[in-house]
Structure 1
Amino acid sequence: MSDKPQNDTGQRLQTLSAIFAPRSVAVVGASDTVSKIGGIPVDFMKRFGYAGRVLPVNPKQTTVQGLPAFPSLQAIGEPVDLAIFAIPASLSRAALEDAVAAGVKGVVMFTSGFAETGDDGAGQQAELTAIARRGGVRLLGPNCLGFMNVGEQLYATFSPAPASGQVRHGPIGLVSQSGAFGAYAYALARERGIGLSHWITTGNEADIDFADCVEWLAHDPQTRVIMGYMEGCRNGPRLRQALAAAQAARKPVVIVKVGRTEAGAKAAASHTAALAGNDAVYDAVFREYGVHRAKDITEFFGVAAAAAIGGLPRDASLGLFTVSGGVGVLMADEASQAGLDLRPMPDTAQATIREWVPFAAPTNPVDITGQVTNDATLIERTARLMLDQGGYASWIGFLAAAGTAERFWPVLESLVTNLRRDYPDKLLALSTLLTPARRQALEALGCMVFSEPTEAVRTVSALARLAQRLDAPVVPADEPAPPLSLPARVLNEPESLAALAQAGLRVVPHALVHSADEAVAAAGHLGSAVVLKIVSADILHKSDAGGVVLNLQGAEAVRDGYARLMAAVHQNVPQARLDGVLVAPMVDRHGTECLLGVQRDPVFGPMVMFGLGGVFVETLHDVVLRPAPVGLDQAHEMIRATKAHALLAGARGREPADLDLLAQQIVALSRFAVACGDTLESVDINPFMALPASRGGGCAVDAVVIGRAPDEQEPA
């Protein structure tokens, strides 16, 4: 079991609030030198006006930067919410014991030299963590850059970034596992004019981790959007819980998760000692909770800032306004590729636009042409017509370089002011060239501004997807299946099929035999052409070993097939242990071969897989992952997300497969995975033959279940 405190959510959040919004802050190792690590936080809090008490701790001084200093935390003689450790690693243990004795609620440990340095450092870090947990002290770090509460002017950090200029207070909370990236992100937010509520770096995550911070921000009233920089995760269930909290609070989460490639994952692990995990699994988890995963820093800030500025659209409908037909086509192509709804303007609205400008293109995009130079009122009149009669949830206006003209500024300012006042539920964006100050002025009015029009379209698409996921109803989890325990070995095919059948999956009828005579008798009972398959935990790829004989009809054919199969297996894999031969009817090959599976991820637990099966698995990689448990709606979504869906739905006149049954099978497999818990390594059902309802709906034709020995401890 984890040795984290088993507090409920309310207690955990209350404890974190004492750290991230403290009434008093002690700085252990405080310095008069404002450029030193122990001097920077004291200087910032004095300079920028932190309203709480700042209490320097330095046994060698009676004052620090004009404030009374104390020899220890206990010597302060009053409760302290937060202590900042700006001291060498060698002094950390004694300082932490002092904090426990003084009743300090939380510690931010700048100090490096712990788990990031190797096994010895990891051992010292574990000792500190144990002291903190026994004493009821929450610990941020070590090896972290600290945090800032921008609204309260609290700077529990030694980052020099605020000295070059403060970020403005705003609705975005930012969490970073990397201090260096966090400092860079702070500077970018400041230069871009993006307002932050909180800025938090987590370092080695000995106690407080990325998930803790996300969950706290999900409940923080100052925060409407959460940005996160991730290198890895050690506790998948906690991260899922945090993302679920943000989803329930309808707060968009935008994450940059590094480690997409094997080389990147190794680099991330060496940097923070975090387990990077399988990147496709992170994609699946993020999708499950509506997280937008940004592929680069520009997208990271662009989507988060846009969500904070304009909010989220009610749906994917988009109206495009342009003064350039060519750019209108460019934006329309991008919108179509991004899955946005470019429904045309109603006929009556198109007729109105033609009355105003006979040579306009009034469909969608609406190209009003350069006529706006003669009549600037056309912009607002057309925008209102599009929002009223077109009913678009989002509107983008491309105005070329008009924003650089001094005389045009009042037109833009009036346009945005009026549209935001009269259409508060619409997402508004402009693409034009503006000075940074004027761009920020329009953004403050609630309109996104882009210099590049296709970036505007991509951002609207990202916000529409975020809205769709956050608006999706939270479906209560099914009652869990009774716990199951699998043996720690590869189950042979009959054992695997039996386990899955007991869990509610449809499996092919079959019999396990040990002689040619038994095979003939079993084939007679099955009453159709049969397949013979070798049964051996040592042979996973039966065809490669000659261990499959197909389409046998009649006693002599079955007897001959049995002899050929055994001869091939003895020749090709003479050392394999044989458990017998499985006899099963030939399944209707006019169905679609699908893959249903489970893979246990070391961070997130069982991940359910669905995709195109048979020989196409390794060539097309048409597989969708979702964390277990999976509900029925999610199962249907998984099916729709694959290229196989076109075949299953009845492409080229085929009778469609029974998709309801197929989704039910995915759900049953998910329940099986959860019930088996830590004793399941993987399930591979390939193929599951999906058939029309008129032909039975389908069944699992081949399956391998692999059990494992449970972990002695859960992830910390």
Structure 2
Amino acid sequence: MASHKDLTPLLSPKTIAVIGASEKFGAGSLVIENLRTLGFEGTIVPVNPGYTDVLGLPCYPSLADIPARIAIDSVAVVLGSGRILPMMEQAARRGVRGAWAFASGFAETGGAGVVLQKELTAFCETHQIRFCGPNCVGYVNLHDKVGTFSAPVSPTLKKGNIGVIAQSGSVVLAIANSNRRIGFSTIVSSGNEAVLDTVDYMEHFLDDPHTQVIAAFLEGIRRVDAFKDCCVRAAAIGKPVIVVKVGRSEMARKTVASHTGALAGSDEMNDAFFKKYGVIRVDDLDQLLETAALFSQLKDRLPHGNQVGMVTVSGGEIGLVGDLSKAFSFGYPPLSERAEKKLKEKLPAYTTIANPLDAWGSGDLKETYPACLDVLAGEDAIDLIAISQDSPPGMSDKQIDQYADVARAAVRCARGEKPVVVFSHVSGGLDQTIKGILDDGGVPFLQGTRESLGAIENLFTYAEHRRRLKKTLSGDGISPANLEALKADLQMKEGVLGYDDCRFLVGAYGIQVPEGKMADSEDEAAAVALKIGYPVVMKGQSPQIPHKTEAGLVRVGIENETVLRKTYAEMVRNIAAYDPEAELEGILVQRMIPTDSVETIIGIVDDATFGPGVVLGLGGILVELLKDATLRLPPVSRHDARMMIADLKGRQILDGFRGKPASDQEALMTAIVQIGQLATDFSGVITSLDINPLMVLPAGQGVVAADILIEMSPMAHPKTQQ
């Protein structure tokens, strides 16, 4: 049996008391009118001492006055914030287990509102009242024909398999009134989430047989671990989760002593979280609706790859599709010779045979479309077939007949092995005859070129996650005994780790460090250089100066002892000039790394909400300027590592550029996986790790950590734990 909250009293009640019911236009009347619009088959009980009946229903002065024979499952409270808690007290005495409140004036106002909400939370949790809100427009359950909703419910709202959760009431209204004619199971406005939060509704949707797709609008995630568990379970049972998460521009990350901390803002952590757990993130409500519409019909017919075969009736539209497709990862494979031959037999000689295909031909869509679709369906290189066809309301009967032939051809094609999608290039509706043909045939219809292509991309992304769900590989790490010993040793350290500790830790995870040694004098530095051989690199080491370049503490390409001694003296002066209080740990002398390597950065950041994240970027000392970086949550599989490299805008430099050899990307992937394992092993112990640069040598030669910065978490130190 599920251990989470049973939301039946709230979302599927048989009897609802409307406290604050009224004949006047407003929430007090709309709740009742909406229940009638939905076709609610249960009992509605108005409560208001100012009425004897409301909208033809007997009205009672209070909950206590309702006859005991009427068992109340849920209450809809349309009163002010100061009267919500007293109503909950009355509800508890009647054994009510579901409640919704429209009122604002709680935690969103601060001060006394925060206190009031805490009291409401404590009371409802003590009495196990499933409370929706406050400060929300309510919910609509279309399968059970019930809802407590403070705005008019459109009679065209369609029953289906998409469950919606939004922390914003206006977003719920926008979705409910979109007239998109996609089907919803339940739409919930969660509001302030004083008692029930997004996770509670997600858990309900995961158990609900009527809900097969979950769409959410998130302003924040309150219970990250529980949310993660929901996402993992959703992926396992095949219920896609699609979210709009606002806050992409927020710069809320705390300042840390590493470049990776500056790169990985809180929103990057959100992205990494969603990618890891198979959540599809979209940017706006149009993308949310189009992606949900596609998933609602194709989630059980996922494509095997990400190659599209497209048919349209316009060369101009092909150009538009080509331009917009640059933003996505899927492709349009060339047609086989067999396919080209068949199409030449069906289409006029002036037709350009290519993918995407302009199938206008002679204008006889009834003949050309089925022929073109049959050919694309037989192409092994194609995983999904997309049909571009606008069919707006208001067409003539002749146009409807012509486009109906296209719709029927799409339905016939969809009976084969490949999923089929029809889309229009503009939003604004679909002729109902065409819509009926496509709906009956299980073919999704999408609106808007960019939104439709984005939804197709999201379907490919979800399908790939499902395929790889059972193939996640983590790094080898180190033995449990060695890990505990190393962790115990590092927990005794504070602040920024010294060079030897850094070298030892990353070395334990198989990452090579250049041969070298710390020197305390010019003579010792010269001896180290003589031993390892010129040219060398010199780096001034101080715990108080984590970034050496700005302080003049890095010098490369030192060819002889004279330059070495001069550099040593300069670095000692530079440390004193940059920070008179800085402690000189020594001057590190290292073997020079070959110049045909590529500078990358790899590191760990620690987020207060999501925990550790692994960052990969290009640019070395220019990394913050270029901002070419990507992030994942550990553990990181080899596939994740490969995708991180693919995310980089400048990734082609790793393939070999302007005469440089191709870099060892296999070794880079291994390093990413191992740093992911380190992040998992030392979660809560390390605040940040920054290997900058991690030099990627030519193929087959590995990677080298040229410079390492590790900052310890103060919470891990024994002093903090006392």
User: Per the alignment, do residues 212 and 508 of structure 1 end up closer, same or farther by CA in structure 2, a change over 3 Å counting?
Assistant: farther
Does the residue aligned with 1:565 lie in a helix, a strand or coil?
helix
Q: Is contact 1:178-1:229 (8 Å) kept?
A: yes
- Of stretches 118-127 and 385-394 in structure 1, the one that deviates more from structure 2 is 385-394
- Of stretches 217-226 and 617-626 in structure 1, the one that deviates more from structure 2 is 217-226
Deviation at 1:169, TM superposition (A): 0.6
User: Per the alignment, do residues 627 and 437 of structure 1 end up closer, same or farther by CA in structure 2, a change over 3 Å counting?
Assistant: same
CA deviations on 1:362-401 (whole Å, 9 max, x unpaired) are 332333435134x732222332233235663333344577
Deviation at 1:606, TM superposition (A): 1.5
Alpha-carbon separation, structure 1, partners of 2:563 and 2:315: 71
Alpha-carbon separation, structure 1, partners of 2:116 and 2:265: 25
Alpha-carbon separation, structure 2, partners of 1:52 and 1:515: 88
User: Per the alignment, do residues 660 and 368 of structure 1 end up closer, same or farther by CA in structure 2, a change over 3 Å counting?
Assistant: closer
What code does the residue aligned with 2:642 have? Answer: H
What code does the residue aligned with 1:444 have? Answer: D
Alpha-carbon separation, structure 1, partners of 2:714 and 2:526: 38
CA deviations on 1:622-655 (whole Å, 9 max, x unpaired) are 1011122222221122122224432333445544
Q: Is contact 1:595-1:614 (8 Å) kept?
A: yes
Does the residue aligned with 2:711 lie in a helix, a strand or coil?
strand
User: Per the alignment, do residues 418 and 614 of structure 1 end up closer, same or farther by CA in structure 2, a change over 3 Å counting?
Assistant: closer
Does the residue aligned with 2:641 lie in a helix, a strand or coil?
helix
Q: Is contact 1:442-1:449 (8 Å) kept?
A: no
Does the residue aligned with 2:456 lie in a helix, a strand or coil?
helix
What code does the residue aligned with 2:363 have? Answer: V
Alpha-carbon separation, structure 2, partners of 1:435 and 1:610: 45
User: Per the alignment, do residues 225 and 597 of structure 1 end up closer, same or farther by CA in structure 2, a change over 3 Å counting?
Assistant: same
Q: Which structure 1 residue ranges, 5 or more long, are not aligned?
A: 1-8, 266-275
User: Per the alignment, do residues 144 and 431 of structure 1 end up closer, same or farther by CA in structure 2, a change over 3 Å counting?
Assistant: closer
User: Per the alignment, do residues 665 and 630 of structure 1 end up closer, same or farther by CA in structure 2, a change over 3 Å counting?
Assistant: same
Partner of 2:711: 706
Partner of 1:272: none
What code does the residue aligned with 1:636 have? Answer: R
Alpha-carbon separation, structure 2, partners of 1:74 and 1:683: 64
Superposition map of 1:227-246 within 5 A: 227-246=215-234
Alpha-carbon separation, structure 1, partners of 2:122 and 2:101: 15
Alpha-carbon separation, structure 1, partners of 2:344 and 2:699: 53
Partner of 1:437: 432
Deviation at 1:596, TM superposition (A): 0.5
What code does the residue aligned with 2:518 have? Answer: L
Q: Is contact 1:89-1:111 (8 Å) kept?
A: yes
Deviation at 1:96, TM superposition (A): 3.4
Relative to the length of structure 2, the TM-score reads: 0.84
CA deviations on 1:298-330 (whole Å, 9 max, x unpaired) are 333223223334555443222222333343344
Alpha-carbon separation, structure 2, partners of 1:340 and 1:165: 38
Partner of 2:120: 128
User: Per the alignment, do residues 78 and 398 of structure 1 end up closer, same or farther by CA in structure 2, a change over 3 Å counting?
Assistant: closer
Partner of 2:260: none
What code does the residue aligned with 1:672 have? Answer: L
Partner of 2:337: 347
Alpha-carbon separation, structure 1, partners of 2:310 and 2:37: 47
CA deviations on 1:21-80 (whole Å, 9 max, x unpaired) are 3444444x2424363434433443345332344455557777665257453499858875
What code does the residue aligned with 2:293 have? Answer: A
Superposition map of 1:99-138 within 5 A: 99-100=91-92, 103-138=95-130
Partner of 1:675: 681
Alpha-carbon separation, structure 2, partners of 1:516 and 1:489: 28
User: Per the alignment, do residues 237 and 26 of structure 1 end up closer, same or farther by CA in structure 2, a change over 3 Å counting?
Assistant: same
Q: Does 1:489 align with 2:481?
A: no
Superposition map of 1:552-591 within 5 A: 552=558, 558-591=564-597
Alpha-carbon separation, structure 1, partners of 2:181 and 2:547: 58
- Of stretches 623-632 and 340-349 in structure 1, the one that deviates more from structure 2 is 340-349
Partner of 2:57: 66
Partner of 2:363: 372
Alpha-carbon separation, structure 2, partners of 1:632 and 1:73: 66
Partner of 1:186: 176
Alpha-carbon separation, structure 1, partners of 2:509 and 2:131: 43
What code does the residue aligned with 2:435 have? Answer: Q
Partner of 1:169: 159
Partner of 1:5: none
Alpha-carbon separation, structure 2, partners of 1:148 and 1:362: 49
Please, which of 261, 266, 285 is the counterpart of residue 297 of structure 1? 285
User: Per the alignment, do residues 408 and 392 of structure 1 end up closer, same or farther by CA in structure 2, a change over 3 Å counting?
Assistant: farther
User: Per the alignment, do residues 255 and 442 of structure 1 end up closer, same or farther by CA in structure 2, a change over 3 Å counting?
Assistant: farther
Residue identity over aligned pairs, in percent, reads: 28
Superposition map of 1:171-570 within 5 A: 171-188=161-178, 191-262=179-250, 278-309=266-297, 312-335=302-325, 338-359=328-349, 360-373=351-364, 376-389=366-379, 392-398=382-388, 404-417=395-408, 419-421=410-412, 423-424=414-415, 425-429=418-422, 431=424, 436-445=431-440, 446-449=442-445, 456-476=452-472, 478=474, 484=487, 486=491, 487=493, 489-524=495-530, 526-552=532-558, 558-570=564-576
Alpha-carbon separation, structure 2, partners of 1:628 and 1:392: 33
Deviation at 1:200, TM superposition (A): 0.7
Partner of 2:259: none
User: Per the alignment, do residues 48 and 337 of structure 1 end up closer, same or farther by CA in structure 2, a change over 3 Å counting?
Assistant: closer
What code does the residue aligned with 1:609 have? Answer: V
User: Per the alignment, do residues 521 and 385 of structure 1 end up closer, same or farther by CA in structure 2, a change over 3 Å counting?
Assistant: closer
What code does the residue aligned with 2:240 have? Answer: P
Alpha-carbon separation, structure 2, partners of 1:396 and 1:557: 66
Q: Is contact 1:74-1:99 (8 Å) kept?
A: no
Q: Which structure 2 residue ranges, 5 or more long, are not aligned?
A: 254-263, 718-722
Does the residue aligned with 1:348 lie in a helix, a strand or coil?
helix
Partner of 1:3: none
- Of stretches 65-74 and 130-139 in structure 1, the one that deviates more from structure 2 is 65-74
Does the residue aligned with 1:705 lie in a helix, a strand or coil?
strand
Q: Is contact 1:226-1:254 (8 Å) kept?
A: yes
Relative to the length of structure 1, the TM-score reads: 0.85
Q: Is contact 1:321-1:383 (8 Å) kept?
A: yes
Deviation at 1:501, TM superposition (A): 3.1
Partner of 2:256: none
Alpha-carbon separation, structure 2, partners of 1:56 and 1:709: 57
Alpha-carbon separation, structure 1, partners of 2:625 and 2:78: 54
Q: Give the number of aligned pairs.
A: 686
Q: Give the root-mean-square deviation of aligned CA atoms.
A: 3.6
Alpha-carbon separation, structure 2, partners of 1:429 and 1:704: 52
Alpha-carbon separation, structure 1, partners of 2:690 and 2:544: 15
Alpha-carbon separation, structure 2, partners of 1:104 and 1:502: 59
Alpha-carbon separation, structure 1, partners of 2:314 and 2:535: 67
